[in-house]
Amino acid sequence: MKCTACNSTELAATAHHRVFECEACGGLLSTGIYRGDTSEFVNLYEWHPEVVDGSEEDEQRYFDFTILSGDGSVNRVHGWFDRASKRLTQVG
């Protein structure tokens, strides 16, 4: 498996057995996670306040999750989030 942000193959396991953290860029990747489990890493329903100065950009991380829904559908969501607040900064 490769990081879709930086193409690194150096991935570390997280507390969730289907989510990995890229050791090169800190991005989070998942090959299949339930939507309810995503909040452990990223809050998909809240936006982070706009970054005013460059100091907060260092806290932004990429994520790429394949989400499994209860009805059997599979969706992909990816973008950037603020590591401290877990709020979205960009989707797609």
Question: So what's the pLDDT on residue 49?
Answer: 79
Residue of 8 and 92 predicted with greater confidence = 8
pLDDT at residue 52, as a whole number: 52
Residue 4 in 3-state DSSP? Answer: coil
Per-residue pLDDT band for 5 (boundaries 50, 70, 90) equals very high
Banded pLDDT at 80 (limits 50, 70, 90): very high
pTM > 0.75: yes or no:
yes
3-state secondary structure labels for all residues of 12-49: EECCCCCEEEECCCCCEEEEEEEHHHHCCCCEEEEECC
| Structure token pair of residue 38 | 């995503």
The tens digit of pLDDT for each residue in 29-74 reads 998 999 889 999 999 998 987 655 554 567 899 999 999 988 889 9
Mean pLDDT of the chain: 89
